[in-house]
Structures are given as C-alpha cells and as structure tokens.
C-alpha cells in the first residue's frame, strides 16, 4: 500500500465547540487525519472518530511540543500539515499541493494564515516533510523553526510558499480560561530560554488577564531589554513594545518615547505606526500625525499576506482616511478634511459618523470660501 502523501496532525483537549468544523474542512483534502487527545472530558474524541480521524490518547505532561510531536510521530504521510482544532483549512487546491509536495529539495511550505477575523494574513510554516529530525521544541509556543533552520543549514533544504489558506477562530471568544494554564508554562519556557521575546510578550498578556498589571508591565519590559540587547531583530520582537504601549495608553500614561523607539526599530509594524499617530493626535500634533496616517491609508491590507505578521484591518483604509480628515479639520484645512472623509465614506458607506463629519467639513469649507 503506497504511503499517504499528506497527513493532518492535531492536538486536542475539550474542543467540541470547534473540532467538527476543523475536521470537515480537512475531509477529502488530506490523506489522513491524526488527532492526539490530551485528556478531553467533552465529546472531542467521539467527534474526531465519527469524522474519520485516527484518535490517539496522550497523557498531558505540561509540554505542547511533546504533544505536537506525538501527533507527528503517529502520522504516516510523507508530509504533515499541523493545524489546531480551532482552525479551518479554507483554501486548498489538491492538484497544486501535489505539485508542490513533489519537489525533493523542499522541506517546508508556508501557508497564508489569518489569526483572527478582521485581521490581515501572514505566513506560517505549517506543512513540512515528515522526517524524524523535524520536530517541535518549546513547552509552550512550540516551534518547528529551530529544527528547520538546522536542516536548511546542513542540507540546503528549501522553504517554499503555498497558496493554502488557514483561518483561526479561537481568539474570537473569551480566552481568559487559558491564562491560568499558560502562566506556569510561560514561566518554565522563560526559565529555559530567557531570551525568548515572544514568551515575554505573552507572559505579560497572561499576567494582565489574571489581574497582575504590575507583573505584566515588568514582563513586557523584560522583553524590551532582550530586544535592545540584540544586533538584529525579528517581527515578533515588536510584540512587547505593542503590548506595553497599549497598556500605558489605556492607563492614561505617556507612551511617546516608547513608540518613537518602537517605530525606529520596527518601521513596517503598522500597529505601532497607528499607535504612534494616535498619540500625536492626542497631543494636538496633527501635522506630524498626517504622514503616518497617509502611509496607512495607502496600504492595501489584502496585499500584506506575504508578511511576517498580521494586522487589524481597521487601521487601514476608511479609518486611516477618517484620521486624516480629523487632522486636516483641526488644522483648518477643511477642503482636505472633506476630501479625506469622502474617501473614508466611499470605503465604509454605512458609517453614519464618517458621513456626518464629511458633511461638517464640507460646510466649514463652504463657509471659508464665502469669506474669501
């Protein structure tokens, strides 16, 4: 019997809310589905079995990489797609996938991943060759990247880009129940690897979610210390800046210097750029804010899918033009203000507030013209 080409590997615990949608999205697209259950008390195992998955029990040992690797170890396919129960395979062309996976010099393909509704996509390493040295590392926020990097360096293996699309649904609800579980794992991960900035960022989020605002701020600042010590940074290194800046602004504290530094270090992080522009508006520095909003207004969020991170789509398009309209209005440039609000209204035709601001700006522009 020939070896399957593509296995889907999942780890599951009490995921009956999402699991059927995930497995249904895989049906007829992959050759097998392997579900490793880490101790469900709901109907997850029954749902997986009913939908054709091979279900294997795994004793939870507070280690996401261990559970993930158990699913990969059980996979028979030449290639593995790793996916979570609260994700769905939304775009998949089997013929194109077979063409890509026939390439002998490739070890991995990225997919287009949307982490949350209303966000842009970014690239994630989700399909990889089923080789024993390609396994996950990290008790939480487990990653295949270190093993991939070693394989690329050793053998010259290639990483390609696919048009396969995944979407995540799990962040659209209340995630507070995850904080008590994640906190000790994040602390363990950071004890093993204190330079893991991504974990500092999420430790702060978990602490804040558990009511420890002081601890959250300290965690984000520890992450900043690591970033500042590095000669080179990655896109994920911007996360502690983003979380800390949002926290300071929500507390009514000054984030100007922090955001200035963040935007220098991460000029293509549009979430940081939006926050920086927002702080300039709040400081009545409208002329300085306008070029930042103009840059955001010029970006097509649908063209950002090949980047390393996702952004809230609301910072582009209509809202960016509306912010330009506000700045121009405050500077007495009513014609410009009306034009920006008109563009924003075109992009968001149902927004009553934008329409009202456009009408007000046009009225002010007309009054100014009459006085000349």
Q: Cα separations (Å) of 304 from 7, 122, 236, 299, 313?
A: 28, 7, 16, 8, 10
Q: Which two tokens stand for residue 358?
A: 């456009």
Q: What share of the chain is helix, strand, coil (3-state, %, to 5)?
A: 55, 15, 30
- CATH 3.90.550.10 intervals, the chain: 6-172
Residue 99 neighbours by CB under 8 Å, 6+ apart? none
3-state secondary structure of 123: strand
pLDDT at 174 (0 to 100): 58
Tell me which residue has tokens 């990889």: 128
Non-local CB neighbours of 194 within 8 Å, separated by 6+ positions: 226
Q: CA–CA separation, 321 vs 344, rounded Å?
A: 5
CATH number of 6-172: 3.90.550.10
371 vs 146: which has the higher pLDDT: 146
CB of 159 closer than 8 Å to CB of 108: yes
CATH architecture assignment, domain 281-372: Alpha Horseshoe (1.25)
The pLDDT of residue 177 is: 78
Span 202-226, average pLDDT: 97
The model's pLDDT over 265-314, given as tens digits with 9 standing for 90+, comes to 999 999 999 999 999 999 999 999 999 999 999 999 999 988 899 999 99
Supply the DSSP symbol for 107. Answer: E
pLDDT-based confidence at residue 232 (cuts at 50, 70, 90): very high
Q: pLDDT, tens digit, for every residue of 179-206?
A: 999 999 999 999 999 999 999 999 999 9
Delimit the CATH 1.25.40.10 region(s) of the chain. Answer: 174-267
Q: What CATH number belongs to 174-267? A: 1.25.40.10
Q: Average pLDDT of the chain?
A: 96
């Amino acid at each position: 019997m020939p070896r399957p080409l593509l296995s889907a590997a999942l780890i599951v615990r009490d995921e009956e809310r999402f699991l059927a949608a995930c497995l249904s999205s895989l049906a007829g697209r992959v050759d097998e589905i392997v579900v490793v259950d880490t101790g469900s008390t709901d109907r997850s195992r029954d749902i997986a079995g009913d939908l054709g998955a091979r279900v294997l029990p795994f004793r939870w040992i507070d280690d996401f990489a261990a559970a993930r690797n158990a699913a990969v170890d059980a996979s028979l396919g030449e290639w593995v797609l790793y996916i979570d129960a609260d994700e769905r395979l939304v775009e998949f062309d089997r013929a194109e996938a077979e063409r890509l996976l026939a390439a002998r010099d490739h070890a991995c393909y990225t997919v287009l991943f949307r982490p949350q509704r209303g966000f842009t996509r970014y690239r994630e390493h989700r399909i990889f060759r089923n080789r024993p040295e390609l396994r996950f590392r990290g008790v939480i926020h487990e990653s295949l990247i270190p093993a991939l990097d070693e394989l690329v360096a050793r053998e010259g293996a290639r990483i390609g880009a696919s048009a396969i699309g995944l979407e995540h649904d799990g962040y659209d609800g209340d995630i507070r129940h995850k904080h008590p579980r994640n906190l000790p794992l994040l602390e363990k991960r950071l004890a093993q690897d204190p330079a893991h900035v991504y974990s500092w960022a999420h430790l702060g989020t978990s602490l804040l979610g558990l009511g420890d605002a002081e601890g959250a701020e300290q965690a984000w600042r520890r992450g900043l210390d690591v970033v500042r010590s590095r000669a080179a940074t990655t896109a994920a290194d911007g996360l502690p800046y983003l979380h800390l800046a949002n926290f300071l602004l929500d507390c009514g504290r000054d984030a100007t210097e922090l955001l200035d530094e963040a935007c220098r270090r991460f000029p293509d992080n549009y979430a940081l750029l939006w926050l920086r522009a927002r702080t300039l508006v709040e400081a009545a520095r409208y002329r300085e804010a306008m070029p930042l909003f103009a840059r955001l207004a010029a970006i097509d969020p649908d063209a950002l899918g090949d980047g390393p991170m996702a952004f809230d789509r609301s910072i582009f398009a209509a809202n960016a033009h509306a912010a330009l309209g506000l700045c121009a209005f405050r500077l007495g440039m009513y014609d410009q203000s009306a034009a920006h609000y008109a563009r924003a209204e075109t992009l968001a035709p149902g927004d009553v507030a934008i329409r009202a601001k456009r009408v007000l700006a046009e009225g002010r522009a007309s009054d100014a013209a009459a006085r000349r």
